[in-house]
Amino acid sequence: MKLSPDGYRLPSGADPLEVVHQHGTPLFVYDAQVIRDAYTRMVRAFDVPALSINYAVKALQNINILKLLGDLGAGLDCVSIYEVEAGLQAGFEPRQIIFTPSAVSFEEIKFAHALGVRVNIDAIPLLERFGVEFPGASVCLRFNPHVFAGGHRKISVGHINSKFGISIHQLPHVLRLVKRLDLRVEGVHIHTGSDILDPDVFLAATEILFNTAKAFDDLEYIDFGSGFKVAYRPDDIETDIETIGQRLSARFNDFCKEYGKDLTLMLEPGKYLVSRAGYFLVRTNMVKQTTAAVFAGVNSGFNHLIRPMLYDAYHHIVNLSNPHGKPRIYNVVGYICETDTFAIDRPIAEIREGDILAIFNAGAYAFSMASNYNMRPRPAEVLILDGKAHLIRRAETLDDMMRTQIPLPDLFPDKDITV
């Protein structure tokens, strides 16, 4: 979002205040052009025989976003059977979907196999059961490279204490099972976590996977995960995708020559594709000064955007209603009856009651992690597509939240509970 003399404009040029006028607040707004640009940039960064960009559905699950990415040529990386089914409903072919769950029941894995999607297994007990039930089947294996890639400890998943993946030190056991159960390993996979900045750390993990891949004769693809960092602060740095693309492509092409056939290089970006496309627009309910701080309280909370409270994540915030106002220092807080903070000691153009604030980088792990805590409905979602604002999810209502509850008519039949 850029500031002009006339106020802030979304990347595609739309006026966010006009979108608020049409659809209200709180409101998630996604700019399709930003997603298209990120996808194109990633594809252009790699020069390999075959490239498959599988969008990580958990980042943002709206079916219109899935269709947009499918139209660009993406596949899907899914972590639940419901994400798989949503992908199929969005028009993806089963083999365009890779199912990479963790600690799920075997029933989900059986269902995914029956649907014909690629199954990625990250635990030896599941691999053994899969082989017993489906001898001769094709499967992908997720390995844990025991590499700490940096970033917040809660989003680093390739270290030795992580629940994800089969330890690379268990490879001999895996090979015995694969041979005994007559399984065909079509792919190998790692994912070290999010917010990767150092190409050398990422590439060190890929070397571990290359060495592991040599143990399997029938590979079709190697999946290197993702976790590429995007800029959150105005002066922030991000993953140099061009450097990673150039270096990984060269190494991958050499490996294909050693392996004796061309393989597909797979990646599974989520945040990289959609984070910067999203803005969360909220209305200021009150401005409250205490002896310690000035609070700007808004009509949302961590029930809609939990990342600041869960990961100590920074999200840039601007005042759309007073874009050229004198900056003051605010704590931006939500309406949830808990410690519920979006920003602390943040310089923002002077905020008045009723002003609309925009919270940046709300495209990934925002709506998809939202809840009804405090019995607050989840917001609407809007997609800016070719200059027009399209409502792609209406705001929830009380009826929506009550729909799955089943009143017991005979509960306390003799009590008068009328208020």
413 domain residue, yes or no: no
Q: Tell me: do 107 and 124 sit in the same domain.
A: yes
Tell me the C-alpha distance between 314 and 237, whole Å: 13
The top-scoring range by mean pLDDT among 139-143, 155-159, 224-228 is 139-143
Alpha helices by DSSP H, listed for 317-397, are none
In a domain, 407, yes or no: no
| Residue 193 pLDDT > 80 | no
Residue 160: the pLDDT is: 56
214 and 295 assigned to the same domain: no
pLDDT digits (tens, 9 = 90+) for 6-35: 999 999 999 999 999 999 999 999 999 999
Pair 107, 154: CB distance under 8 Å: no
Total count of domains within the chain: 2
Average pLDDT, the chain: 93
- Assess whether pLDDT exceeds 70 at residue 235: yes
> CA-CA distance, 304 to 322, in Å (whole number)?
24
Q: Is residue 346 part of a domain?
A: yes
Q: Is residue 153 part of a domain?
A: yes
Q: Residue 73 is part of a domain; what is its CATH number?
A: 3.20.20.10
Residue 382 shares a structural domain with residue 398: yes
Domain assignment present for 64: yes
The mean pLDDT value for 45-50 works out to: 97
pLDDT at 30: 98
pLDDT at residue 418 above 60?
no
Which residues touch 416 (CB under 8 Å, ≥6 apart)? none
Choose among 344, 361, 367, 319: nearest CA to 234.
361
Is 337 a residue of the active site? Answer: yes
Q: Is 418 inside a domain boundary?
A: no
C-alpha dist (Å) from residue 28 to 9, 35, 314: 15, 15, 17
- Residue 322, domain member (yes or no): yes
Candidate list 78, 140, 256, 337, residue with the active-site label: 337
Percent of the chain with pLDDT over 70: 94
If you search the block for the tokens 């960092």, which residue do you land on?
229
* Domain end marker among 271, 288, 318: 271
Average pLDDT over residues 86-110: 96
What pLDDT does 405 receive? Answer: 94
Contacts of 252 by beta carbon, 8 Å cutoff, 6+ apart = 48, 222, 263, 265
Query: Is 232 a domain residue?
Result: yes
CA distances from 103 to 28, 124, 163, 165, 204 (A): 31, 12, 9, 10, 27
Q: What is the pLDDT of residue 149?
A: 52
DSSP one-letter string for 50-103: EEEEEEEGGG---HHHHHHHHHHT-EEEESSHHHHHHHHHTT--GGGEEE--SS
Which of 131-145, 157-171, 267-281, 312-326 has the lowest average pLDDT? 157-171
* Together in a domain, 374 and 247: no
User: Any idea what the Cα angle at residue 56 is, between residues 93 and 206, rounded to 5°?
Assistant: 105
CA gap 305, 311 in Å, rounded: 11
**Helix ranges restricted to H, 214-304:** 241-259, 271-274
pLDDT at residue 205 in the model: 85
pLDDT of 23 reads 98
Mean pLDDT of 263-291: 97
Task: State whether the Cα torsion 15-21-25-29 is positive or negative.
Answer: negative
Q: From CA 369, how far away is CA 297, in angstroms rounded?
A: 21
**Judgement on whether residues 25 and 127 belong to the same structural domain of the protein:** no
pLDDT tens digit sequence for 306-335: 999 999 999 999 999 999 999 999 999 999
Does the predicted model carry a pTM greater than 0.75? yes
Please give the backbone phi and psi of residue 417, each rounded to the nearest 5 degrees, phi first. -110, 20
Do the beta carbons of residue 276 and residue 230 sit within 8 Å? yes
Domain of residue 217, residue span:
32-271
pLDDT band at 62 (very low <50, low <70, confident <90, very high): very high
Angle at 181 between CA 180 and CA 184, to 5 degrees: 110
Same domain for 261 and 288: no
CA distance 54 to 60: 13
Distance CA 223, CA 209 (A): 9
| Cα dihedral 238, 240, 221, 143 in deg (nearest 10) | -50
Split at pLDDT 50, 70, 90, the class of 276 is: very high
My answer on whether 6 and 112 are in the same domain is: no
- Note the pLDDT of residue 417: 56
Q: Which two tokens stand for residue 127?
A: 């691999």
Q: What is the pLDDT of residue 161?
A: 61
